[in-house]
Amino acid sequence: MLPMTCHDAIIVGGGPAGSTAAALLAQAGFRVLLLEEKRMPREKLCGEFITPESFPTLSRLGVFDELIRQGAQQIRRLSLITSQGQVDGEMADISRECDWAMSVSRARFDQTLFERARSLGAECREGIAVKQCAFNGEYPTGVDGIDLGTGRPVSFRSELVIDASGRQSRLMLNRAERTAGRRGSRRYALKVHFENVVDIDGRIELFLFEHGYGGLSLIENGLANLCFITTEEIVRRAGGDSMKVLEQTILTNPIARERLSKAVVSGNWLAAGPLSFGRRRLFRRNVIALGDAAGMIDPFTGTGMQIALRSAEIAVRAIIESAGSSRYIEEAARRYSSYYEEEFGRRMAIAGALRPVVFSPLATRIAAKTLAAAPFLARPLMRATRR
Ligand SMILES: Cc1cc2nc3c(=O)[nH]c(=O)nc-3n(C[C@H](O)[C@H](O)[C@H](O)COP(=O)(O)OP(=O)(O)OC[C@H]3O[C@@H](n4cnc5c(N)ncnc54)[C@H](O)[C@@H]3O)c2cc1C
């Protein structure tokens, strides 16, 4: 067992939420320990689409220009493509923040944020898998885990523990909750990078098909990212073969066929599931949850990372505002809940209401016909999931 050190804050998970919280707390003078189980840069299954609403946080963190320098693409147009045709829009139509969105690999995006936290003074440790939180009654005293490099148990001490470990959080969810997506919904996601995708510059294409949806856009180095969600039945029918799943989903659309006609897979396919979406809890036994650990908005909104970044910002604000009070972690959790509700409550509810539509073949057909007849409906729908 390594000697224990004490920090003002321990953050579990070095994704967008964890790195943002670590960067901001370190900037505010906290002695921060950020623990990430993987080694950076690490791949992540994601649409890799960063909405303009994320830009103010990225600027405040001082990484916006760095991401552009690293090859993040500017996405100015958006096409919603169904079996009935396509509806085109400008990013400027759905965002008040900026007339373009960003598209960059998660390997690069997450590493940039992680390194930013480090450069602002957070102690960032990779290869540490947190297993559990330690408590004194209902109050956290630190975390215990494994150093995956040495295989040794490790313990770290702090009264403030922040969970940013994503959708499979061990600290927020009990075993039954972690396996909830394995019953009922059974949706799976796949992602791959391609070279030689035809005619996709400056645009994201969202494909709505009978058993799910997916997005295609250019990222850095001339690669394009394709990420989509479908049902377990489709994955099973394809025998788990990613190319066959692609054939039965995205490639049922002639526009997608054209885009990928000369495409060559670059790197590995990533898959995840079963997935479940929606609200969870913002804190548990005085451990505060950020990003996906607190709740996962449906990927069709393309706003998961923005919520991860902003939830970290508002949690840090709540922590700093509560610093003087006697039970400051409880006070911080209370303030954070109120900020979270105000900022994300409505959007989460709208995304939840739209969820059954995107997985019902009948509803998808009706939606495709409605949008073909009344394309102007697409804009308010997309805006509604953003604010
Ligand atoms: C199919 C799909 C497509 C998506 N597309 C988009 C999109 O285009 N745009 C968008 O904005 N959002 C998208 N999202 C959502 C987005 O990926 C998430 O909202 C975002 O990653 C949340 O960030 P986070 O920091 O909360 O968690 P994560 O990014 O999941 O980071 C959690 C980190 O914690 C680490 N970790 C986990 N457990 C432990 C542990 N026990 N100890 C130490 N470390 C641990 C993990 O390794 C990981 O690095 C998509 C999601 C899915 C499923």
Q: What is the pLDDT of residues 357-387, one digit of tens each?
A: 777 767 777 776 776 677 676 667 666 666 6
Categorize the per-residue pLDDT at 5 as very low, low, confident or very high, splitting at 50, 70 and 90. low
Sign of the CA dihedral running 210, 211, 213, 218 = negative
At 48, phi and psi to the nearest 5?
Answer: 60, 30
The mean of the pLDDT values for the chain is 92
The pLDDT, as a whole number, for residue 2 is 46
What number of other Cβ atoms are within 10 A of residue 330's Cβ? 15
Q: Which residues pair with 205 in a beta bridge?
A: 79, 216
Q: 106 CA to middle of ligand 1, Å?
A: 9
> Could you tell me the two tokens for 113?
């944020």
Q: Which atom of ligand 1 is nearest to the CA of 294?
A: 26
Helix (H, G, I), strand (E, B) or coil at 277: coil
Q: 166 CA to middle of ligand 1, Å?
A: 5
Q: Which atom of ligand 1 is nearest to the CA of 48?
A: 8
Q: Which of 367, 79, 374 is nearest to 209 (CA)?
A: 367
| 9-44+105-180+277-353 CATH | 3.50.50.60
Tell me how far apart the alpha carbons of residues 102 and 105 are, in angstroms, rounded to a whole number: 10
- Nearest CA owner, ligand 1 atom 30: 166
Q: Which atom of ligand 1 is nearest to the CA of 307?
A: 19
Q: Which atom of ligand 1 is nearest to the CA of 165?
A: 34
Q: 305 CA to middle of ligand 1, Å?
A: 8
* pLDDT mean over 330-349: 96
- Nearest CA owner, ligand 1 atom 4: 46
Q: What is the pLDDT of residues 230-274, one digit of tens each?
A: 999 999 999 989 999 999 999 999 999 999 999 999 999 999 999
* pLDDT mean over 22-32: 98
| Annotated domain spans of the chain | 9-44+105-180+277-353
- Which residues, including other chains, have CB under 8 Å from residue 102's CB and lie 6 or more apart? 49, 50, 52, 54, 55, 67, 68, 72, 73, 74, 75
User: Does residue 229 line the site of ligand 1, with CB under 6 A?
Assistant: yes
Q: What is the pLDDT of residues 163-213, one digit of tens each?
A: 999 999 999 988 777 776 555 558 999 999 999 999 999 999 999 998 899
The pLDDT, as a whole number, for residue 234 is 94
Categorize the per-residue pLDDT at 315 as very low, low, confident or very high, splitting at 50, 70 and 90. very high
What is the reported pTM?
0.94
